[in-house]
Amino acid sequence: MNGDFLALLPKTVIPQAGSNAPSVPPLHATTVFAFHCADGVIAGDHRATAGNIVFSDKTEKILELDSHSLMAIAGSPATAFEMGRMLQTSFEYYRRSQFQPMSLPAKIRALSQLLRNNLAGTIQGFGVVAPIFAGVEANDPSAKPQIYFYDPLGAQFEATNYAGSGSGSGSIKSVLSFLERWGQPKPAEMSVSQATVLANRLLMTAAEFDTATGGVHPEKKLFATIKLVAPAGIRSISVAEQEQFWKESMQ
Catalytic residues: 30
Q: Measure Cα distances from 51 to 26, 27, 143, 226 in Å.
A: 7, 7, 41, 25
In order, the DSSP letters of 173-216 are: HHHHHHHHHH-SS-GGG--HHHHHHHHHHHHHHHHTT-TTS---
Residue 207 is which amino acid? A
Q: What helix, strand, coil percent values describe the chain, rounded to 5? A: 35, 25, 40
Residue 25 is which amino acid? P
Nearest to 131, CA basis, from 173, 92, 81: 81
Contact criterion met (CB below 8 Å) for 45 and 214: no
State the Cα–Cα distance between residues 25 and 51, nearest whole angstrom: 5
